[in-house]
Amino acid sequence: MIRNREELEKQRLEVREWVEKVAIPNEDRVAELNEVPEDIVKDMQARGYFAWAIPEAYGGLGLTTEELVLMAFELSYCSVAYRARVGSNTGIGSESLIVDGTEEQKQKYLPRLASGEIVGCFALTEREAGSEATALKTTAIRKGDHYILNGSKAFITNAPISDLFTVFARTDPDDDSHRSISAFLVDLDTPGLSVGPAYKMMGQSGSPVSEVYFKDCEIPASCLLGNEEGVGFRTAMKALNKQRIHLSALSTGPAMRMLDDAAKHAQERKQFGQPIGDFQLIQAMIADSHVDIAAARTLILDTARKRDEGLDITLEASMCKYFATEMCGRIADHAVQIFGGSGYVADYSNIERFYRDVRLFRLYEGTSQIHQLNIARRTFDKIAKTGSVRL
Ligand SMILES: Cc1cc2nc3c(=O)[nH]c(=O)nc-3n(C[C@H](O)[C@H](O)[C@H](O)COP(=O)(O)OP(=O)(O)OC[C@H]3O[C@@H](n4cnc5c(N)ncnc54)[C@H](O)[C@@H]3O)c2cc1C
């Protein structure tokens, strides 16, 4: 749902201009520094990028899912590091709090997440609990008016720069089902919480990811998200449902950028006396890429609108995540092919960086295989209930 089309269009074009004038010219600097420099972070804060999906009552812009997706298409047209810097505050790092936090918890954290004053992250995965997230082992044992956390989390985006950790832990260690998982809001300065060094990764330079450790980490009972035990996994799934639509949009921006760059290159680069774009085998890759992007955009926007209407979009969110991230991978591969050797060599193009950066999309927030399983299961369910996948 778009609340005010004219206003949104103004904001969308402002982001487009910022991406072209600030983000793209600084991409090499971000990659070299391996961080988004402070001046650019401050600029993004001032422009309200951290506030997009946070409700207006808590200092955010309260964008609907459709509006968020339209903005995400724009902000992700540049190096992934920029949107990863703001993306946990206006996505996975605040969403659990938005959907299930108490009023007091929202008042305490959301305004600061919206302004970008603090950074939030989402700590679900553990080394032994990846796709099988319900196998997590971190415990949170109640002692009077406190909980004691023990365990560790792995692969947590923005952990090295986070102030607020949404941590999923088991409150009843004798119950290994999802019903004993609870969510907690843990501040960085809590004794017993420590953060590992940022990983050395295949791509996404400038987006720090690391482990998080809890050793007899004592937190007040008021840190229990929503003040309710045993519903943490449900909270995580609610947050991820929205995030998967968001991530799908964030996978479409890089795809558009790579297609634009590859199409321009195809028209400029000459071999055999003519632009390579005149060759039909190159045209086939351009055409397939464009169709892929158009299909992803349509699916994502349709799903976002359904979510805004309050419909259950669990199946569609999985479809978006699976299709858009695989689509982006296909386009990265075509782009390298169209650029030839220059697509492989960093001195000649940005394409090799995008190729490495976007590989992650198919792994986190549910791997492609996990989404395929989810889509198949829900398809069988739908057919069992209604006899058909027809709308
Ligand atoms: C850079 C990065 C950032 C991340 N950020 C976060 C974050 O901020 N917060 C967070 O909580 N997590 C985060 N993650 C974790 C991410 O969500 C997990 O890596 C992902 O869920 C996969 O888990 P895994 O790595 O343990 O792989 P595994 O679960 O071990 O999977 C390995 C392979 O087996 C396949 N597989 C597993 N089960 C099945 C099955 N049933 N059927 C078929 N195939 C199967 C998978 O598809 C995959 O191909 C991040 C990961 C990375 C790499």
Q: What is the pLDDT of residues 72-93, one digit of tens each?
A: 999 999 999 999 999 999 999 9
Choice from 161, 164, 367, 375 to test ligand 1 binding pocket (greatest atom count within 8 A of CB): 367
Q: Are residues 138 and 48 in the same domain?
A: no
9 catalytic per annotation:
no
The pLDDT, as a whole number, for residue 344 is 98
Residues in the chain, overall count = 391
For 259, which DSSP code? H
- Closest-lying ligand 1 atom to the alpha carbon of residue 158: 8
Q: Are residues 207 and 260 in the same domain?
A: no
Q: Are residues 205 and 238 in the same domain?
A: no
Say which CATH number the domain at 304 has: 1.20.140.10
Q: Are residues 93 and 133 in the same domain?
A: no
Choice from 181, 209, 361, 364 to test ligand 1 binding pocket (greatest atom count within 8 A of CB): 364
Mean pLDDT of the chain, nearest integer = 97
Pick from 57, 23, 65: which is nearest to 316 by CA?
A: 65
Q: Are residues 366 and 280 in the same domain?
A: yes
The pLDDT, as a whole number, for residue 48 is 96
Q: Are residues 181 and 289 in the same domain?
A: no
Q: Are residues 252 and 369 in the same domain?
A: yes
**Residue owning tokens 């309260």:** 62
In a domain, 391, yes or no: no
Strands (E), 164-260: 164-170, 181-187, 193-195, 209-220
Confidence check: pLDDT of 391 > 90: no
Percent of the chain with pLDDT over 70: 100
The pLDDT, as a whole number, for residue 174 is 95
Look at residues 88, 115, 142 and tell me which one is the last residue of a structural domain: 115
Q: Tell me: the pLDDT tens digits for 186-225?
A: 999 999 999 999 999 999 999 999 999 999 999 999 999 9
- The rounded distance, in Å, linking the Cα atoms of 46 and 283 is 42
Q: Is 79 exposed, middle or buried (0-12, 13-18, 19+ CB in 10 A)?
A: buried
For range 240-262, the mean pLDDT: 97
* Cα-based distances in Å from 144 to 138, 217, 218, 222, 357: 19, 14, 11, 12, 46
Strands (E), 30-134: 120-123
Say which CATH number the domain at 200 has: 2.40.110.10
Amino acid at residue number 290: H
In a domain, 256, yes or no: yes
Look at residues 184, 205, 230 and tell me which one is the last residue of a structural domain: 230
Please state the domain count of the chain.
3
Q: Are residues 53 and 79 in the same domain?
A: yes
Pick from 389, 384, 247: which is nearest to 327 by CA?
A: 247
The boundaries of the domain holding residue 140 are 120-230
Q: pTM to 2 decimals?
A: 0.97
Look at residues 230, 261, 285 and tell me which one is the last residue of a structural domain: 230
For range 29-50, the mean pLDDT: 97
In a domain, 171, yes or no: yes
Nearest CA to ligand 1 atom 50: 155
